[in-house]
Amino acid sequence: MTTPWMTDRWFTSPHNYAPDVRAQLQFPPKVEFHDVTLRDGEQQAGVVFTTEDKIRIAEKLAEVGVHRIEAGLPMVSRADRAAVEAIAKRNLGPKVYAFSRCLVSDVQQAVDCGVKGVVVEIPSSQHIIELAYQWEPQRAIDLSVEATRFAHEQGLEVVFFPIDATRSEPEWFVRLIEEVATHGHMDALVLVDTFGGSSPHAIQYFTRFVQQHIRKPLEAHFHDDFGMAVANTLMALSLGVQTAHVTVTGLGERAGNCALEDLALALLTLYGVDTGLRYEKLYELSKLVRELAQVPVPPNRAVVGDMLFKVESGIIATWLVRLKEKRPVELFPFHWELVGQPPAEVVLGKGSGRDSVLYFLSEVGYTLKPDDPRVDEVLVQVKESSLAKKGLLTRDEFVAIAQAVLGSAQPVKGS
């Protein structure tokens, strides 16, 4: 590919591929997606997934091609345990993990569910350990060593998850992870920004700091409290971190997690990193999760917003009419088909222009010359009706305006 920033499916900035930019990147040979929608996603206030919901989402995640599914924390409830067990038994393709506290009893439940791996959590900042948990710091080390070693002995892949890692005291954090790596067990270590309080540059520093102290595969689990989760995850991956923890459409605790769709598309189009996902299923996946979670998203949300490819602005609508069939990526950074969105279309509202009106007039059976003054009469009515409605006009509403100004038109086939 001679122009990786411009294909028939996307058109981004060529600066993304400038040699000076590319020289800074150290992406691993393979980037894995570890989806936590069924656990951290459900921690968003008010979100409840039934066992059947979780199975449907897991099946769709497998269809999209995610590499790992964190199916839940079995200790939360009997329903959560049933969901984890049911998903693990289905052999959907992705590796299925459970989440557990650093307790042998939690890990045992994960074992009993038949999962491939377990993500074992412990508070890793002294202030959280002492203030929130009211423990002596040594207890965090002891529990971590015991639980991770037990998990390994049971044949599970063990991912160590130190809560609040980015706010932890550096010397204490190093002590914790080294003790677990030496006396317990970890197949991978997660860089955890529990409260989303890191900038991309801080993540760069923190990632390199951890890499200097431990030789284990690293994973990134970042929250979005300052809107940085995707950027922070990209930064970590570009430094060699191998696995990204994501949720569908950024669902999750407080402001949510790193959004699967945003990260996948950014990697593909901005960095040339193909994770092997079925990108054309992303919109479909998001719609399913939004429906089951009963959580709406802004209509112009990146990648999966329902109005993302609706064009109202007059000049852009003109461009769309001219370029939709020829080169639509001149108007959008990626083609709607890439993520499974419906085709782009012109819509009518207060921001519409004469070309939009002419386009819709022809669609409903009117043939007017561009300089016909009645076009402006229709346009004025469109703008005033949209303003009164505070929204877009339907086709029937536009037809009523056109008939009031122009009289009846010849019916258009299929209209």
> Which residues on adjacent β-strands are paired with residue 160?
120, 189
- The stretch 90-114 carries a mean pLDDT of 97
* DSSP-assigned letter for residue 219: E
What is the CA angle 212-216-221, rounded to 5?
Answer: 90
Q: Are 35 and 247 in contact (CB under 8 A)?
A: yes
> Going from the N-terminus, what domains does the chain have, and what CATH number goes with each?
20-293 (3.20.20.70), 310-406 (no CATH)
What's the confidence (pLDDT) of residue 415?
Answer: 45
> Which SS3 state, helix, strand or coil, does residue 112 take?
helix
From residue 152, give the alpha-carbon distance in Å to each of 24, 173, 219, 384.
36, 22, 18, 68
The rounded mean pLDDT for the chain is: 94
247 or 323, greater pLDDT? 247
Q: Tally Cβ neighbours within 10 Å of residue 415.
A: 10
As beta bridge partners, residue 220 has 191, 244
* Predicted confidence band of residue 413 (pLDDT cuts 50, 70, 90): very low
Q: Note the pLDDT of residue 102.
A: 94
**Residue linked to tokens 């459970």:** 98
Strand stretches in 265-387, DSSP E: 310-311, 345-346
Amino acid 321: pLDDT: 79
pLDDT of residue 409: 65
Q: Give 287-308 pLDDT, tens digit per residue.
A: 999 999 999 999 999 999 999 9
Q: What is the DSSP letter of 132?
A: I
At residue 408, the pLDDT reads 81
pLDDT category of residue 1 using cuts at 50, 70 and 90: low
3-state secondary structure 222-245: EECCCCCHHHHHHHHHHCCCCEEE
Name the β-bridge partners of 119.
Answer: 99, 159
pLDDT mean over 387-397: 95
The strand pairing partners of 96, in sequence order, are: 69
Q: What is the pLDDT of residues 46-91, one digit of tens each?
A: 999 999 999 999 999 999 999 999 999 999 999 999 999 999 999 9
Q: Over the stretch 249-291, which tens digit does the pLDDT of each residue have?
A: 999 999 999 999 999 999 999 999 999 999 999 999 999 999 9
Question: pLDDT tens digit string along 179-225?
Answer: 999 999 999 999 999 999 999 999 999 999 999 999 999 999 999 99
